[in-house]
Structure 1
Amino acid sequence: MRSETIDSFKWFFREFVNMMGVKAPQTILTDQARAMEVAIGEVLKETIHRWCKWHILCLAKENLGDAYSKNSDFKDAFHKILNDMLTIEEFEKAWKELMEKHGLQEHPFIEKIYAIKEMWAKPYFAGVFCAKQTSTQRSESANHMFKGYCLPGSPMHQFVTQYMKLVAERDEQTDYEERMNKLAKKSVTFNFGMERHAAAKVYTDKVMRIVEKEIFESGNSTRWRSKYQEWRTVLSTTRMKLEAIWHWYLIGRGSSRMNVNYKLTV
């Protein structure tokens, strides 16, 4: 787009919805462009709008200066808050402690992003389908990849030719990955029934490795309190590396099924 105005974004989003069979996306991730935010609010009224986590980190580096770039303790803790806090209670507690520790409570940038934390903080993504993507880095990478096929200022016929070449090569790579996934014998690491079922019927090999990582990490959690209510069991756990409380709700006691409220971004 040559002009990033409200009207141009509104036109773009309307055309995108039309191209997708008049079906708006469930979720959209963007940077903090005000024009885009206004256009989304007017055109994609049913779409959940959130900000890209990668851009928040870039802004932190730009606005906090040495406090972020040269202070590894703050940087590591800041990243942990963005990536690992699953509940609002955890986030609020960790945020307050970190800012007080480094004397940044009244920093203009910190105050600004905290006031709009619902747009980027992970706990506020609970229940929001993001296909495990909370950053537009993948889009940025795709943009960079396309520039390798077609130079800026190329004539339209060359643009179309190179675009079709890119699509063909990506389709070929996708087909290859699908064939390899079907041929691969998915192994299990922990021999849990849930793991065997997932490997055989549910996940691709790459996603299976992610599931196994979560199973492995669960060994770092310790249940420290439980209470029983009429229709649910509430378990609270701690994880050593996070030093925070994670809440789990096991629902449907007495039935053959249990639902677990596990607030990962999905």
Structure 2
Amino acid sequence: MAGRRSISKSIKRTLEGNDRVGLRPCNSVRLLEVQSSGLENMGCTPKDCRNYIEHARRLELLAGDANDLCNFFCDMQTKDNEFFCSMEMDGVNRIKSDVWVQSHCKYAYEEFNDVVCFDITYHVNRYNMPFASFVGINNHGRSILLRCDLLTSEDTMNYKLIFNKWLKAMKLVAPKATLTDQCESIKAGHIFAKLPNHLKVVGGEYKATKLEFKSIVLDSITIEEFEQRWGDFIEKYELEVSDWFSKLYSERKKWVPIYLNDNFWAGMLSTQRSEGIHAYFDGFISHRSTLKQFVQQYKLALRNRYEKELNDEHKSRYTKITCESMFSWEVQLRDAYTHRIFQIFQWLNTLYRENILTAIASALNQRGIVCCHILKVMAHKKTKYLDDRYFLTRWRKDIVRHNLKKFFLGGYPNMMDDYRKSRELMKYFDEACNIALDNDIMVQFLSSILMDLLNDLTNFDRSMIQDLMENTTTITIISGNDHIPNVVGNS
């Protein structure tokens, strides 16, 4: 059996096509196994398939990954006349940095440039090149990609370069607030995760100590309260000699929520939003991707997110969420906010009513959502409606967003020529199957025609090509629908 193993052309096309759209090799092989009605009918083993995928990827790599990236930019500029890109090369013609911005992202930045997160923790290719991204928050509270950069190193010069190019691409309009993946304000979760290593010296119940520390950080309502509770905690557990806790305290204004409550963060801080670019490319790109695969999947991933934006927009405009109270202002909030923002409002107010989140007003201020304390006063004063100035424009559903009108013009990745030709032929076969499958006589007829055709192709004489081209009309008549009714009628 081992000597007879081979991967057919159709399986090769399928494996390459599946790999190009991001399907994992194990899933691709499993799909082929089901389609073949069993592994024994595939003619090759899963290992053969995985080896072929790796071989095809290496061929792509040898074909010139950097050239593919240049071709991607040229293609984008052809389709999108507002597309911005800048590629820096070193002395030996190697990529130092790539920066690109779609027109869709430019328009999104014009709408949502108040808060931007700069994320450079995600490595997306086999060269382990850092992939930097600028991520914003749209009117539905979802991450939106504003710009992408590929770097060869993470140094000060490269950072200055990409920030200068960012300003150039965005017409010198700087974001009002910027968070980075190095900023401790979006790494509070990491701090809590490291607590076990730094509380080993503490006696008593560790879980209780951890909860006490988290309460100091998250539940302190004033700066004075935080300072007092922190000092008591350090003294109680004799942590004065701990360099780690000393460093945390010296940088408290960068990561403790109470110090950041006066700034608008569009929810980034309060949700510890650190997924950045992960939300866009998970399921599309892996660390083994070549640059060519990266740019192909990039277009699919960005289109996928764009379609989700359109879906959020449609739901917000044409469906309604059930209100939880009889107050007129809740209906007003529902009709003003996008769906997801109104749901966040309901969730935060539920936490407040249940005393789960004591610093709820601070959390709402960071998000720019109407504070529940204001609503409580309104209920007490029997005020029915809020003034429009209390509704942040960026969260409203009735504002026309120009970025949604600027359709993503990246297109889909081009498939291999063999795959495309195969799919063109398969269209006719699929249509024939759709017509024939409900009738046994038609199935028998189609099967007979295909067997004859397969025999003709196997023994095809290339000298017949000219004759075939000259007699295309005759062949079409013989194999056309006129022949089918006679066969069916004879049944």
Q: Secondary structure at the match of 1:28?
A: strand
Residue 198 (structure 1) aligned with residue 348 (structure 2): no
Unmatched tracts of structure 1, length 5 or more: 34-48, 221-238, 251-255, 259-266
Residue 184 (structure 1) aligned with residue 319 (structure 2): yes
State the partner residue of 1:10: 160
CA distance in 2, matches of 1:147, 1:189: 35
1:119-198 matches, cutoff 5 A? 119-134=254-269, 135-139=272-276, 141-142=278-279, 146=281, 148-152=283-287, 154-198=289-333
CA distance in 2, matches of 1:241, 1:198: 21
Q: Please say if residues 29 and 136 of structure 1, whose CA atoms lie closer than 8 Å, have aligned partners that are also in contact.
A: no
Deviation, structure 1 residue 3: 1.7
User: What residue identity is the alignment partner of 1:179?
Assistant: H
Residue 20 to residue 86, structure 1, CA distance change in 2 (3 Å): farther
Deviation, structure 1 residue 66: 7.3
Identity, in percent, stands at 24
Deviation, structure 1 residue 139: 1.3
Q: Secondary structure at the match of 2:275?
A: helix
User: What residue identity is the alignment partner of 2:343?
Assistant: R
| Length-normalised TM-score, structure 2 | 0.38
State the partner residue of 2:170: 20
Q: Secondary structure at the match of 2:173?
A: coil
Size of the aligned set, in residue pairs, is 214
Q: Please say if residues 28 and 50 of structure 1, whose CA atoms lie closer than 8 Å, have aligned partners that are also in contact.
A: no
Residue 87 (structure 1) aligned with residue 222 (structure 2): yes
User: What residue identity is the alignment partner of 1:28?
Assistant: T
Greater per-residue strand proportion: 1
Match of 1:212 among 341, 346, 367: 346
**Pairwise CA RMSD of aligned residues?**
3.6
The structure with the largest alpha-carbon Rg is 2
| Length-normalised TM-score, structure 1 | 0.66
User: What residue identity is the alignment partner of 1:96?
Assistant: G
Greater per-residue helix proportion: 2
Residue 107 (structure 1) aligned with residue 257 (structure 2): no
Q: Secondary structure at the match of 1:139?
A: coil
Unmatched tracts of structure 2, length 5 or more: 1-129, 131-151, 363-370, 375-382, 388-491
Residue 55 (structure 1) aligned with residue 205 (structure 2): no
CA distance in 2, matches of 1:240, 1:160: 45
Match of 1:30 among 167, 180, 185: 180
1:66-85 matches, cutoff 5 A? 71-85=206-220
Q: Please say if residues 217 and 257 of structure 2, whose CA atoms lie closer than 8 Å, have aligned partners that are also in contact.
A: yes
Residue 216 to residue 152, structure 1, CA distance change in 2 (3 Å): closer
CA distance in 2, matches of 1:29, 1:65: 32
